[in-house]
């Protein structure tokens, strides 16, 4: 079936889905987005994703042109129209605009775009054997400049860090914050396990509060695993027993090396494996 892309209440083929070259989203990265997973024909934690979208939009003074109920219906209709039972949703809201210039208040036609497509996962061997990470020289945005909790269309620092990782032969790269503390990876949150305790950087470390991250924290607490949200340095990862990443696309994926140093036993650990199992059970309900 041909792909149908939603733009402002209408559906277009992939070839015909277009927005203006004057759109602030294109010209200045002025907009917000969410990436969501489809399991069994339903969007995982849709309302949590939409809440974060609305908060991101509010933070950049962007008025989303439809309400929460209409957005929910539009996302669900787009999934159904594309006949996807497993896949990925990219929901984008741009500032719009019809002329050059930075002034956002001259933009009066925000664009709502919903793309439903198949998901491209990491190779299976990374889930069974673990992946290698490097520490990128590119840091997360300083919260005083652009708060990393805003999921904006300006992802250039993540892209630059991703380039560093790929050039080093790694599909993911660790990013530090402006204090030199561990923040997150280019597209995923990070966890470590030490002496049976699960730790992850706190929100004020300059991270995006991941939906999958929060789901894993909930699963761990229900399973009786102690969870700490605390500042971390690379040293904490180097001496950890286990390490794994979480994200809408990645789900739960183990990491076994950082900057050439083996983490723990160099293989996915028992806590990682158990949380991966519990997460798969959660999304299959």
pLDDT digits (tens, 9 = 90+) for 175-205: 999 999 999 999 999 999 999 999 999 999 9
pLDDT digits (tens, 9 = 90+) for 111-127: 999 999 998 778 999 99
Where residue 214 falls among pLDDT bands split at 50, 70, 90? very high
Question: Residue 105 carries which DSSP code?
Answer: G
List domains and CATH numbers for the chain.
Answer: 4-117 (3.30.470.10), 124-283 (3.20.10.10)
Whole-angstrom distance, CA of residue 8 vs CA of residue 114 = 9
Mean predicted lDDT score pLDDT of the chain: 96
Written as six digits, the tokens of 203 are 């929100």
Average pLDDT over residues 254-260: 98
pLDDT digits (tens, 9 = 90+) for 85-100: 999 999 999 999 988 9
Checking if the pLDDT of 108 tops 90, the result is no
Check if 280 is active-site: no
Residue reference for tokens 């929100």:
203
Residue reference for tokens 């900057």:
259
- Provide the H-helix boundaries in 122-233: 124-129, 156-167, 211-222
Whole-angstrom distance, CA of residue 85 vs CA of residue 108 = 35
What DSSP letter does each residue of 56-109 carry, written as one string? HHHHTT---SS-HHHHHHHHHHHHHHTT-SSEEEEEEEE---SSSSS-GGG---
Q: Torsion over CA of 213, 214, 216 and 218, rounded to 10 degrees?
A: 170
Instruction: Spot the catalytic one: 118, 125, 151, 280.
Output: 151
């Amino acid at each position: 079936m041909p792909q149908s892309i939603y733009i402002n209440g209408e559906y277009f083929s992939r070839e015909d889905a277009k927005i203006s070259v004057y759109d602030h989203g294109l010209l200045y990265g002025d907009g917000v987005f969410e990436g969501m997973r489809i399991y069994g024909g339903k969007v995982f934690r849709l309302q949590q994703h939409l809440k974060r979208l609305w908060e991101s939009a509010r933070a950049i003074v962007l008025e989303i042109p439809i309400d929460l109920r209409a957005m929910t219906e539009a996302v669900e209709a787009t999934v159904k129209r594309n006949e996807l039972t497993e896949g990925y949703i990219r929901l984008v809201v741009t500032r719009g605009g019809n002329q050059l210039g930075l002034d956002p208040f001259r933009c009066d036609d925000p664009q709502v775009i919903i793309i439903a497509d198949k998901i491209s996962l990491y190779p299976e061997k990374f889930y069974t054997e673990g992946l290698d990470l490097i520490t990128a020289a590119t840091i997360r945005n300083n919260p005083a400049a652009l708060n990393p909790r805003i999921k904006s269309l300006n992802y250039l620092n993540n892209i630059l860090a991703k380039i560093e990782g790929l050039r080093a032969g790694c599909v993911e790269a660790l990013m530090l914050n402006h204090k030199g503390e561990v923040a997150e990876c280019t597209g995923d949150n990070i966890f470590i396990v030490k002496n049976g305790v699960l730790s992850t950087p706190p929100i004020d470390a300059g991270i995006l509060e991941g939906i999958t991250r929060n789901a894993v924290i909930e699963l761990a607490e229900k399973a009786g695993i102690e969870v700490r949200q605390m500042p971390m340095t690379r040293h904490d990862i180097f001496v950890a027993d286990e390490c794994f990443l979480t994200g809408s696309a990645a789900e739960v994926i183990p990491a076994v090396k950082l900057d050439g140093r083996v983490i723990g036993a160099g293989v996915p650990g028992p806590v990682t494996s158990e949380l991966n199992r519990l997460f798969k059970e959660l999304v299959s309900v």
